[in-house]
Structure 1
Amino acid sequence: MQRHHEHHGHQQPQQEYVGHDEHQKQLADVRQDLHQARQQHSHHDKHAGHRPEIFKRRFFICLVLSLPVLYYAPMLQMWFGYRAIAFPGSEWVAPILGTIIYFYGGWVFLRGAWRELHSKIGMMTLIALAITVAFIYSLAVSFGLRGEPFYWELVTLVDIMLLGHWIEMASVQGASRALENLAELVPTVAHRLVNGRVEDVQVNTLQHDDLILVRPGEQIPIDGEVTEGASSVNEAFLTGESRPVTKHINDEVVAGSVNGDGALTVKVTRTGEQTTLSQIMRLVEEAQSSKSRYQALADQLAYWLTLIAITVATLTFIVWLAFAPDSTFAINRAVTVLVIACPHALGLAIPLVIVNATAMSAKHGILVRSREAFERARNIQTIAFDKTGTLTEGRFGVQRIYTDQIDELKALRIAATLESLSEHPLAQAIVQEADRRQIQFTKGEDFQAIPGSGVEGTVNNQRYRVGRPEWVRELKLTFPAALQAGLKESESRGESAIVLMDDQQVLAVFGLADQVREPAREAVARLQEMGVQVVMITGDAEAVAKTVAEDLNIDRYYARVLPQDKASIIRRLKAEKPTAFVGDGINDAPALTEADLGLAIGAGTNVAIESADLVLINSSPLDATYALKLAKATYNKMLQNLFWATGYNVIAIPLAAGIAYSFGILLSPAVGAILMSVSTVVVSINAMLLRRLRLRG
Structure 2
Amino acid sequence: MEHQHEANKEDHEGHDMSNMQHGSNPSMGMAGHNHHAMMITDFKKRFYIVLILTIPIMLLSEMIQHFMGFNWQFVGSQYILFALSSIVFIYGGLPFFKGLVDEVKAKNIGMMFLIAFAITVAYIYSVAIVFGLQGMDFFWELATLILIMLLGHWIEMKSVAGASKELELLVQLMPADAHMVMPNMVHDVKTDTLKENDIILVKPGEKVAADGIILEGESYLNESMLTGESKPIQKLKGDKVIAGAINGNGSIKVTVSHAAKDSYLSQVIKLVDDAQKSKSQTQLLADTAAKWLTIIALVAGITTFFVWYLSGQTLAFAMERMVTVIVICCPHALGLAVPLVVAKSTALSAKNGLLIKNRTAFENARKITTIVFDKTGTLTVGKFEVSKIISLQTAFNENDIIRLASALEQQSEHPIATGILQKVKDLSITIPSTENFNAITGKGVEATVESKKILVVSPGYLKENNLTIPEGFTANDTETVVFLIVNNQLAGYIALSDEIRPESAEAIKTLKENNIKSILLTGDNSKVAKSVSDTLGMDSFIAEVLPHQKLEKIKDLQSKGEFVAMTGDGVNDAPALAIADIGIAVGSGSDIAAETAGIILVNSNPKDIVNLVLFGKATYRKMIQNLIWATGYNVVALPLAAGVLYKQGILLSPAAGAVLMTVSTVVVAINASMLKVKK
Shorter chain as denominator, the TM-score bin is 0.5 to 0.7
Structure 2 distance, partners of 1:307, 1:295, is 20
Cα distance change of structure 1 residues 478 and 300 upon mapping to structure 2, 3 Å threshold:
same
SS at match of 1:332: helix
1:608 to 1:395, Cα distance in 2 relative to 1, 3 A: farther
Does residue 1:640 correspond to 2:625, yes or no? yes
Cα 1:344–1:618 change in 2 (3 A) is same
Q: 1:52 maps to which residue?
A: 21
Query: Closer, same or farther in 2 for the Cα pair 1:532/1:673, shift >3 Å?
Result: same
TM-score by length of 2: 0.65
Instruction: Assess if the C-alpha contact under 8 Å between 1:172 and 1:371 holds in 2.
Output: no
Kindly indicate whether residue 644 of structure 2 is the aligned counterpart of residue 650 of structure 1.
no
1:512 maps onto 2:489 in alignment: no
Offset of residue 591 of structure 1:
4.1
Local SS of the residue matching 2:434 = strand
Q: Which residue of 1 aligns with 2:281?
A: 294
8 Å contact 1:464–1:501 — kept in the other structure? yes
Contact 1:499/1:510 (8 A) holds in 2: yes
Q: Which residue of 1 aligns with 2:540?
A: 556
Output the amino acid matched with 1:391.
L
Q: Is the 8 A contact 1:109 1:128 kept in 2?
A: yes
SS at match of 1:522: helix
Checking the alignment, whether the CA contact within 8 Å between 2:300 and 2:325 is kept in structure 1 is yes
- Partners of 1:294 and 1:405 in 2: CA distance: 68
The answer to whether the 8 Å contact 2:164/2:347 transfers is no
| Contact residue 478 and residue 506 of structure 1 kept, 8 A | no
The question of 1:450 aligning with 2:439 is answered: yes
State the SS of the aligned residue for 1:457.
Answer: strand
Instruction: Report Cα offsets for 1:18-61 as digits up to 9, x if no partner.
Output: xxxxxxxxxxxxxxxx9x98765656774899771367566444
For residues 202-222 of structure 1, what are the alpha-carbon distances to aligned partners after superposition, in whole Å with 9 as ceiling and x for unaligned? xxxxxxxxxxxxxxxxxxxxx
Per the TM alignment, residue 130 of structure 1 is displaced from its structure 2 partner at its CA by: 1.9
Shift in Å, 1:422: 3.6
Within a 5 Å distance, the mapping from 1:409-428 to structure 2 comes to 409=398, 410-428=400-418
Question: How much does 1:653 deviate?
Answer: 0.7
| Structure 1 residues 621 and 448: CA distance shift in structure 2, 3 A | same
In the alignment, does 2:461 pair up with 1:461?
Answer: no
- Matches of residues 151-166 of structure 1 in structure 2 within 5 Å? 151-152=146-147, 155=150
Q: Which residue does 2:47 correspond to in 1?
A: 70
Letter in 2 for 1:512: L
Instruction: Give me the whole-angstrom Cα distance separating, in 2, the residues matched to 1:450 and 1:319.
Output: 96
Tell me which of the two structures has the higher relative contact order, counting C-alpha pairs closer than 8 angstroms and 6 or more residues apart.
1
Contact 1:65 1:101 (8 Å CA) reproduced: no
- Indicate whether 1:500 and 2:484 are aligned: yes
Aligned ranges 1:192-271 → 2 under 5 Å: none
Query: In 2, are the aligned partners of 1:413 and 1:439 still within 8 Å (CA)?
Result: no
Amino acid at match of 1:319: V
Task: Spell out, residue by residue over 1:414-440, the C-alpha distance to the aligned partner (whole angstroms, 9 max, x if none).
Answer: 21233234443211211223445x374
**What SS is found at the alignment partner of 2:498?**
strand
Q: Helix, strand or coil: the match of 1:518?
A: coil
1:351–1:518 Cα change, 3 Å: same
Give the letter for the 1:624 counterpart: I
Show the 5 A alignment for 1:403-414: 405=393, 409=398, 410-414=400-404
Identity of aligned residues (%): 35
Instruction: Confirm whether residue 313 of structure 1 aligns to residue 305 of structure 2.
Output: no
Q: Which residue of 2 aligns with 1:578?
A: 563
1:217-246 deviation digits (Å, cap 9, x = unpaired): xxxxxxxxxxxxxxxxxxxxxxxxxxxxxx
Partner of 2:375: 387
Contact 1:336 1:669 in 2 (8 A): yes
* 1:340 alignment partner in structure 2: 328
**Does the 8 Å contact 1:333/1:658 carry over to 2?**
yes
The one-letter code sitting in structure 1 at the alignment partner of 2:651 is L
Query: What amino acid is aligned across from residue 483 of structure 2 in structure 1?
Result: V
Code of the residue aligned with 2:439 in structure 1: it is I
What is the distance in 2 between the residues matched to 1:580 and 1:325? Answer: 62
Q: Which moved more, 1:154-163 or 1:303-312?
A: 154-163
Give aligned pairs, total: 525
Cα deviation for residue 362 of structure 1 reads 5.2
Q: 1:664 to 1:432 in 2, by over 3 A?
A: same
Q: Compared with structure 1, are the counterparts of its residues 358 and 81 closer, same or farther at alpha carbon in structure 2 (3 Å cutoff)?
A: farther
User: In the alignment, is the contact (CA less than 8 A) between 1:586 and 1:605 conserved in 2?
Assistant: no
Q: Distance in 1 between matches of 2:333 and 2:102?
A: 19
* Alpha-carbon distance in 2 for matches of 1:295, 1:600: 24
Deviation at 1:543, TM superposition (A): 4.1
How much does 1:657 deviate? 0.6
Equivalence for 2:96: 102
- Partner of residue 351, structure 1: 339
Q: d(CA) in 2 for partners of 1:505 and 1:602?
A: 43
Contact 2:166–2:348 at 8 Å: present in 1 too? no
Contact 1:102/1:135 (8 A) holds in 2 = no
2:608 corresponds in structure 1 to 623
CA distance in 2, matches of 1:655, 1:424: 76
For the 8 Å contact 2:566–2:580, the answer to whether it is kept is: yes
Partner Cα distance (2:166, 2:582) in 1: 16
Between the aligned partners of 1:47 and 1:511, the Cα distance in structure 2 is: 63
User: In structure 2, do the counterparts of structure 1 residues 426 and 292 end up closer, same or farther at CA, with 3 Å as the change threshold?
Assistant: same
- Quote the residue 2:231 is aligned against: none
Shift of 1:681: 3.1
Residues 134 and 292 from structure 1, CA distance in 2 versus in 1: closer, same or farther, beyond 3 angstroms?
Answer: closer
Q: 2:650 aligns to what?
A: 665
- C-alpha displacement of 1:571: 4.5
Amino acid at match of 1:387: K
| 343-352 vs 505-514, which moves further | 505-514
Q: Which amino acid aligns with 2:557?
A: L
- The equivalent of 1:8 in structure 2 is none
> Matched residue of 2:651: which SS?
coil
Q: CA RMSD in A?
A: 4.4
Alignment check: 8 A CA contact 1:164 1:351 kept: no
Deviation at 1:91, TM superposition (A): 5.1
Unaligned runs of at least 5 residues, structure 1:
1-33, 115-124, 174-287
Cα 1:544–1:605 change in 2 (3 A) is: farther
Residue 390 (structure 1) shift: 1.0
| TM-score, normalization by structure 1 | 0.63
For residues 534-579 of structure 1, give each alpha carbon's deviation from its aligned partner in whole angstroms, at most 9, with x where no partner exists: 1222343444433322332223223344445445544443452333
1:70/1:76 contact within 8 Å kept? no
* Distance across 1 between alignment mates of 2:107 and 2:382: 50
Give matches, 1:117-156, under 5 Å: 125-127=109-111, 129-134=113-118, 136-137=120-121, 140=124, 144=128, 147-148=138-139, 149=142, 150-152=145-147, 155=150
Distance change (3 Å), C-alpha of 1:293 and 1:630 = closer
What is the letter of the counterpart of residue 333 of structure 1? R
Aligned-partner residue type, residue 445 of structure 1: T
Letter in 1 for 2:664: S
Q: 1:319 to 1:81 in 2, by over 3 A?
A: closer
Which residue pairs with 1:196 in the alignment? none
Q: What is the identity, as a one-letter code, of the residue corresponding to 1:294?
A: Q
